[in-house]
């Protein structure tokens, strides 16, 4: 089940069949989707297998399916994994957990689910999150609409019938009027472009294809890990106490800050539950849909003592407070950012015993928060342990992976029992490139985006009619479940309207795409994050075609994003080319 650029290494392919669940399951749990089905497309979609096909059974696909079922449509989810969960199905590496507060990073649409589900930790670990997703699926009775172990290879718009035809890896085909892509933004693991990856004879895993129970096999072993992003940080701090020896191969250090996770007591959970309306209201009003809100103070003009006092206060809080509740100029003004980075540098130095190791852990090529800031729990202290070694591969790169481990440029050999690739993803467009999307007159999505992403609202693409992207490029990322809920809601409202009006064709226009793409670029101007290489700016140095920065996401405020989408709806979707029934 390894995919895309993760193909081709013996080690990684060992993780095939991460989960033993197979096939299509139904269950008899009563759903909460008891609304009366509305009239269907009638005979308009006769001859098509479905009204709507959805690719992916993560949060985006699950909510899409729920809304389609509410509309009484014939819909189906096709999912590559052997069970639902998406990101939280695949990413089982040790220590994987939310770094947003559990109670803000979930579905808000069902009061019944909010009433019944209890979180046990402020930042839910992956197994609990996966259980939550399974609970949601059961509760909404959606499994009967999901087909697992079905990897879509080709998605083709058929002009003669204004419909989509999907082909899976077993050459089975599926047709529908509308297509919803729910394929995630971090779903295609990439291995490093280092020679010899397939030569290694020990155990090797990409973190996104971690085998179930794999952490137990690490006890006492010599483990090497390549990467120091959010995934690596969670893995490193979790496995360091149990492994025999851990070597961390770091190319670029990242700024991080303490997560400060804690258990949630029953009483606290009741308080959180009572707070849900307020939590979701705060998310809806904030810039990127998180519960933490920043200010507009002038960082540089604020007296140093006052600044430090405020930052110390934030540093002591949970979660993204120290990333999001700061002054917004830290993300736009180099001087303000340098002051805040210096604050965090002091924190790192205070926690790492060896000043030379601390030097290596402090980023020098980007400021705090200009890449997606991972949160940590004891990460820096790991480097004070005797069984942990940090190797700087920026100045002394890995020359090759060998049969027994790896060799750095200075000809040092590192013998390893287990090699962990925490080397990230072909992000955002990678999930789309893994499927051969073909639109009008055979145009390929890959080609359309090869010179830069172009979308309308991050939801649609010209030449790809009737296709809606949940968490597509140019959409709000931020607090992802909040963004998913909005994108699904908008799409469901469109499809409901199309059904009521007999609309069988909907395509973005050149003008709409040009204006939206320009707006996305405009919103990104002045943000320091867009001056830095990261998956958020579309850079993946392991991929030849991703060496240059691109505008992958909507950088404006979430309320502004939603306003624009609502305007399109209120104009009766006139921004699209619309056709009814059998119109050519
Ligand atoms: P990532 O941020 O892209 O990090 C990949 C790491 O691998 C980087 O340190 C990178 O170094 C290194 N690397 C890649 N190729 C390499 C090579 N050829 N040689 C040496 N080093 C190499 O990926 P990630 O850590 O999986 O995180 C991706 C995103 O997933 C996060 O930013 C976050 O949004 C999400 N995530 C969320 C959570 C959470 O919420 N709890 C947890 C994990 C991940 P360079 O920086 O030098 O390229």
- For residue 393, which atom of ligand 1 is closest to its CA? 20
pLDDT of residue 364: 98
Burial of residue 175, with CB atoms counted within 10 A of its CB: 0-12 exposed, 13-18 middle, 19 or more buried = middle
pLDDT by residue (tens digit) across 49-97?
Answer: 999 999 999 999 999 999 999 999 999 999 999 999 999 999 999 999 9
Q: What is the pLDDT of residue 38?
A: 57
Which residue, 258, 255, 217, is CA-closest to 239? 217
Proportion of the chain above pLDDT 70, given as a percent: 93
Mean pLDDT of 98-126: 97
Identify whether the C-beta of residue 568 lies closer than 8 Å to the C-beta of residue 575: yes
Asked whether the beta carbons of 549 and 536 are under 8 A apart, the reply is: no
Going from the Cα of 228 to the center of ligand 1, the distance in angstroms, rounded, reads 6
Whole-number percent of the chain with pLDDT over 90: 90
- Measured from the Cα of 232, ligand 1's closest atom is 25
CA of 492 to the centre of ligand 1 (A): 33
How many CB atoms are closer than 10 A to CB 9? 21
Ligand 1 atom closest to Cα of 233? 25
- Over the stretch 124-143, which tens digit does the pLDDT of each residue have? 999 999 999 999 999 999 99
- Structure tokens of 281? 């209201």
What pLDDT does residue 115 have? 98
pLDDT at 217: 83
* CA end-to-end distance (rounded Å), the chain: 40
- Tokens 């600044």 — which residue? 307
Closest ligand 1 atom to residue 192 Cα is: 18
What residue's CA is closest to ligand 1, atom 16? 192
Residues with Cβ within 8 Å of 111's Cβ and at least 6 positions away in sequence, in order, are none
Measured distance CA(533)–CA(550) in Å, rounded: 10
Centroid of ligand 1 to alpha carbon of 72 (angstroms): 41
Pinpoint the alpha helices (H) of 328-452: 334-351, 355-361, 379-382, 430-433, 445-448
Q: Indicate which residue's Cα is closest to atom 12 of ligand 1.
A: 227
Atom of ligand 1 nearest to the CA of 535: 3
Residue 89 burial (CB < 10 Å; 0-12/13-18/19+)?
buried
Nearest to 38 by CA among 538, 492, 479, 403: 492
Which residues does ligand 1 sit against, CB inside 6 Å?
A: 97-99, 186, 192-194, 226-232, 234, 251-252, 372, 393, 422-424, 535, 541-542
Question: Residue 385 is encoded by which pair of tokens?
Answer: 């342990």
CA of 1 to the centre of ligand 1 (A): 21
Distance from C-alpha of 569 to C-alpha of 564, rounded to nearest angstrom: 9
Please say whether the beta carbons of 255 and 363 come within 8 A: yes
d(C-alpha 346, C-alpha 118), whole Å: 38
Cα 96 to Cα 137, 507, 513, distances in angstroms: 21, 39, 37
Residue closest by Cα to atom 4 of ligand 1: 229
- Residue nearest atom 41 in ligand 1 by C-alpha distance: 98
Per-residue pLDDT of 5-39, as tens digits, reads 333 232 233 222 222 222 222 222 333 444 545 55
Q: Tell which one of 88, 92, 251 to mutate to probe ligand 1, the residue whose CB is within 8 A of the most ligand atoms.
A: 251
The span from the CA of 306 to the CA of 16, in Å, is 54
pLDDT tens profile 359-401 = 999 999 999 999 999 999 999 999 999 999 999 999 999 999 9
Residue-by-residue DSSP string for 186-225 = S-SB-----TTGGG--SEEEEGGGPPTTGGGGGBT-EEEE
Closest CA to 492 of 527, 500, 89, 454: 500
CA of 165 to the centre of ligand 1 (A): 34
* Average model confidence (pLDDT) across the chain: 92
CA of 226 to the centre of ligand 1 (A): 10
The predicted-structure confidence for 178-191, as pLDDT tens digits, reads as follows: 999 999 999 999 99
- Of the residues 210, 230, 250, 369, which should be mutated to test ligand 1's pocket, given the most ligand atoms within 8 Å of the CB? 230
Higher-scoring residue by pLDDT: 302, 216: 302
Q: Which atom of ligand 1 is nearest to the CA of 123?
A: 41
Q: For atom 32 of ligand 1, which residue has the closest CA?
A: 372
- Tell me the whole-structure pTM to 2 decimals: 0.93
Average pLDDT over residues 280-296: 96
Sign of the CA dihedral with 26 first, then 28, 30, and 35 last: positive
What is the Å distance from ligand 1's center to 227 Cα? 6
Q: In angstroms, what is the span from residue 573 Cα to ligand 1's centroid?
A: 39
**Centre of ligand 1 from the C-alpha of residue 387, in Å:** 23
pLDDT for position 556: 96
Instruction: Please list the residues that pair with 390 across neighbouring strands.
Output: 248
CA 117 to ligand 1 centroid distance, Å: 31
Query: Can you say how many angstroms the Cα of residue 481 is from the centroid of all Cα atoms in its chain?
Result: 10
Q: How far is the C-alpha of 122 from the C-alpha of 263, rounded, in Å?
A: 6
pLDDT in tens, 473-494: 999 999 999 999 999 999 999 9
Helix (H, G, I), strand (E, B) or coil at 70: helix
**Overall average pLDDT of the 340-352 stretch:** 98
Nearest CA to ligand 1 atom 37: 230
d(CA 314, CA 319): 10
CA of 230 to the centre of ligand 1 (A): 6
Which ligand 1 atom is nearest residue 193's CA?
18
Pocket test for ligand 1, best of 59, 207, 229, 397 (most atoms within 8 A of CB): 229
**CA 76/CA 56 separation, integer angstroms:** 10
Tell me which residue has its CA closest to atom 43 in ligand 1: 231
Average pLDDT estimate for 344-355: 98
What is residue 370's predicted lDDT score, i.e. its pLDDT?
A: 98
Atom of ligand 1 nearest to the CA of 100: 40
Ranking 9-13, 110-114, 384-388, 563-567 by mean pLDDT, the lowest is 9-13
Structure-derived torsion over alpha carbons of residues 538, 539, 540, 546, reported in degrees to the nearest 10: 80
Question: CA 421, CA 423: separation in Å to the nearest integer?
Answer: 5
Show the CA angle centred on residue 149, arms to residues 146 and 151, nearest 5°.
Answer: 100
SS3 258: strand
Give 3's pLDDT tier (boundaries 50, 70, 90): very low
Residue closest by Cα to atom 26 of ligand 1: 424
* Residue whose C-alpha is closest to residue 66's, from 133, 152, 162: 133
Q: How far is the CA of 375 from the centre of ligand 1 (A)?
A: 13
């Amino acid at each position: 089940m390894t995919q895309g650029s993760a193909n081709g290494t013996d080690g990684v392919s060992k993780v095939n069949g991460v989960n033993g669940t197979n096939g299509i399951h139904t269950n008899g749990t009563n759903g909460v989707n008891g609304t009366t089905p509305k009239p269907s497309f009638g005979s308009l979609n006769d001859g098509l297998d479905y009204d709507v096909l959805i690719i992916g059974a993560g949060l985006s696909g699950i909510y899409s399916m729920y809304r389609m079922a509410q509309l009484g449509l014939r819909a189906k989810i096709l999912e590559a994994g052997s069970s639902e969960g998406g990101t939280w199905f695949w990413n089982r590496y040790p220590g994987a957990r939310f770094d947003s507060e559990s109670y803000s990073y979930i579905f808000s649409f069902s009061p019944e689910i909010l009433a019944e589900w209890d979180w046990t930790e402020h930042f839910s670990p992956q197994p609990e999150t996966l259980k939550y997703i399974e609970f949601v699926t059961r509760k909404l009775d959606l499994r009967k609409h999901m087909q697992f172990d079905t990897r879509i290879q080709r998605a083709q718009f058929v002009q003669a019938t204004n419909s989509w035809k999907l082909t899976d890896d077993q050459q089975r085909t599926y047709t529908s009027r509308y297509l919803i892509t729910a394929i995630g933004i971090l779903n295609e693991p990439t291995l490093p472009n280092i020679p010899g990856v397939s030569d290694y004879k020990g155990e090797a895993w990409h973190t996104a294809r971690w085998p179930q129970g794999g952490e137990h096999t690490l006890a006492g072993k010599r483990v090497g890990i390549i990467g120091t992003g959010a995934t690596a940080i969670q893995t490193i701090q979790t496995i360091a106490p149990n492994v025999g020896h851990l070597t961390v191969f770091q190319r670029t250090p990242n700024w991080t800050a303490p997560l400060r996770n804690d258990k949630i007591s029953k009483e606290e959970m009741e308080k959180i539950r009572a707070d849900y309306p307020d939590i979701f209201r705060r998310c809806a009003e904030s810039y990127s849909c998180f519960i933490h809100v920043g200010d507009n103070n002038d960082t540089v003009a604020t007296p140093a003592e006052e600044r430090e006092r405020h930052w110390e206060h934030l540093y002591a809080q949970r979660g993204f407070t120290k990333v999001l509740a700061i002054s917004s100029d830290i993300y736009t003004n180099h001087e303000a950012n340098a002051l805040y980075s210096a604050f965090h540098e002091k924190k790192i130095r205070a926690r790492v015993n060896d000043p030379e190791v601390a030097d290596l852990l402090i980023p020098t090529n980007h400021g705090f928060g200009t890449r997606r800031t991972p949160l940590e729990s004891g990460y820096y202290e790991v480097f004070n342990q005797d069984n942990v070694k940090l190797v700087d591969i920026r100045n002394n790169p890995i020359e090759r992976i060998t049969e027994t481990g790896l060799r750095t440029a200075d000809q040092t050999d590192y013998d390893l029992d287990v090699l962990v690739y925490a080397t990230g993803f072909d992000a955002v467009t990678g999930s789309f490139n893994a499927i051969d999307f073909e639109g009008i007159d055979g145009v390929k999505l890959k080609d359309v985006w090869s010179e830069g992403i172009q979308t309308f609202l991050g939801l649609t693409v010209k030449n790809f009619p009737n296709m809606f992207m949940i968490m597509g490029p140019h959409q709000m990322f931020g607090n992802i479940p909040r963004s998913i809920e909005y994108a699904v809601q908008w799409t469901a409202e469109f499809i409901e309207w199309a059904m009521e009006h007999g609309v069988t064709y909907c395509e973005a226009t050149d003008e709409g795409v040009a204006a939206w793409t320009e707006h996305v670029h405009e919103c990104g101007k002045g943000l320091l994050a867009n001056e830095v290489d990261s998956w958020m700016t579309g850079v993946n140095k392991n991929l030849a075609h991703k060496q240059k920065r691109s505008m992958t996401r909507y950088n404006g405020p979430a309320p502004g994003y939603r306003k624009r989408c609502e305007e399109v709806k209120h104009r009766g979707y006139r921004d699209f080319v619309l056709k009814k029934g059998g119109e050519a």
